[in-house]
Chain A
Amino acid sequence: MPISLYRVDERLIHGQVVVGWGNSLKLDQIVLANDQVAGNPWERELYLACVPPEIKATILSVDEATIRILQNGFQEGKTLILVDSPFDILRMMEKGVRIDSVNVGGIGSKAGRKKILSYIFLSSDQISAFKRIISSGIRCECRDVPLAEKHDLDALFEKLKL
């Protein structure tokens, strides 16, 4: 089975992902691809504790996750790949991972970031990264939880003249 969802979410594994997307997609597996968490045993344990026992959780560096995806390593059941920034999606694409669409969840407010939606604030580097993702034919859909309204990121960029 192909990957069910690629999601960008700065909060990584949290309620919206586990409860929201987990229930709606009936996920079997969540793969957190994040170098910082993968490299820190304490944080790994903390994020693993946030996934209910019926969902398998795997934490890998972005490179490790990329290799596993390219080797069709997540074929069993429904898998969500979770990263915290568009840069990690680009890293996966550049290594040859084929992605149809990216779900954009929360990217929080911070100095130097521009408001795109109530839950999405982007720096100029993040905007450029998303534009590169979009220009390679990948749809970027903003939706924090499954029942929320979908917003096409490209259309939002156009509307905000970004």
Chain B
Amino acid sequence: MKLEHKRNQGQREIFFMIGCIILTHADLGSGLKNALEGIMGQQEELSVISNTGLGREEMISALQREIDKENYDDGVVIFVDMPGTSWWQTAKKVAGGMSADSNSTPVPRPKTAVITGVNLPMLVKFFTLRKSLPLSQIVPLIKSEGEKGIITEI
């Protein structure tokens, strides 16, 4: 997947390919995906899951399934719409490697970031940078971009 991608890009060299999974209430995620692709064109390794109709075990397996679809060697960012919500808990459980067995120590999933409060400025920044910077550098940049996207006038 990554090698093919490198060839398709012509002369431009690609160093990274960081995946993106957007977890939201209702249709917010697919709306964000449509809006983002309206601005930046179609994107690969971008998936969206809604919590509609899913219980907490099903949310964990839905996210796990999505993560297992790709190898995400360079990492994956899980965007969540709101902290304190069921998707946030799910993302933290999966990224933190929490198992149902309370006696085992959680082993965090490598190169898996969780960021809440997903908005369009944050996503645009992420998709601009995700092939040129490692995960550890991208996360603080998209956080700050998401915050800078909030401007008030009163």
Taking A15-B82, A46-B93, A49-B84 as contacts, is the C-beta distance between A106 and B55 under 8 angstroms? yes
Is B100 a contact partner of A36 (Cβ separation < 8 A)?
yes
**Alpha-carbon distance between A50 and B91 when the two chains are bound, in angstroms:** 13
Taking A39-B102, A42-B96 as contacts, is the C-beta distance between A15 and B56 under 8 angstroms? no
Q: Does A159 contact B (CB under 8 A)?
A: no
Mark contacts of B24-61 with chain A using CB atoms, 8 A cut-off: 1 yes-contact digit, 0 otherwise: 01000000000000000000000000011111111100
Q: Which residues of B contact A39 (CB under 8 A)?
A: 102
**Alpha-carbon distance between A42 and B103 when the two chains are bound, in angstroms:** 10
Is A50 a contact partner of B100 (Cβ separation < 8 A)?
no
Is B53 a contact partner of A121 (Cβ separation < 8 A)?
yes
Is B102 a contact partner of A110 (Cβ separation < 8 A)?
no
Q: How far is the CB of A27 from chain B (nearest CB, A)?
A: 14
Q: Does A23 contact B (CB under 8 A)?
A: no
Give the segment of A6-14, A66-74, A148-156 that binds chain B: A6-14
Q: How far is the CB of B12 from chain A (nearest CB, A)?
A: 41
How many cross-chain pairs have Cβ atoms below 8 Å apart between A and B?
65
Residue of A nearest to B96 (CB): A42
Taking A11-B86, A39-B102 as contacts, is the C-beta distance between A108 and B53 under 8 angstroms? yes
Number of interface residues of A (CB under 8 A): 27
Q: How far is the CB of B51 from chain A (nearest CB, A)?
A: 8
Q: How far is the CB of A44 from chain B (nearest CB, A)?
A: 10
Q: Does A18 contact B (CB under 8 A)?
A: yes
Q: How far is the CB of A46 from chain B (nearest CB, A)?
A: 6
**Which residues of A from 2 to 33 have beta carbons under 8 Å from B?**
10-12, 14-15, 18
Give the bracket for the number of chain B residues in contact with chain A.
20 to 34
Q: How far is the CB of B100 from chain A (nearest CB, A)?
A: 7
**Interface residues of A: mostly helix, strand, loop or mixed?**
loop
Q: Does A47 contact B (CB under 8 A)?
A: yes
Q: Which residues of B contact A36 (CB under 8 A)?
A: 100
Is B106 a contact partner of A46 (Cβ separation < 8 A)?
no
Q: Does A137 contact B (CB under 8 A)?
A: no
Residue of B56, B59, B85, B98 near A50 (CB, 8 A) is B85
Residue of B nearest to A18 (CB): B84
Q: Does B132 contact A (CB under 8 A)?
A: no
Residue of A50, A51, A108 near B55 (CB, 8 A) is A108
Is A46 a contact partner of B85 (Cβ separation < 8 A)?
no
Is B89 a contact partner of A47 (Cβ separation < 8 A)?
yes
Mark contacts of A130-153 with chain B using CB atoms, 8 A cut-off: 1 yes-contact digit, 0 otherwise: 000000000000000000000000
A residues within 8 Å of B by Cβ? 10-12, 14-15, 18, 36, 39-43, 46-47, 49-52, 84, 106-110, 118-119, 121
Known: A15-B84, A39-B102, A42-B106. 6 other contacts (CB 8 A): A14-B85, A40-B98, A42-B102, A51-B84, A108-B55, A108-B57
B residues within 8 Å of A by Cβ? 25, 51-59, 82-86, 88-89, 92-93, 96, 98, 100, 102, 106
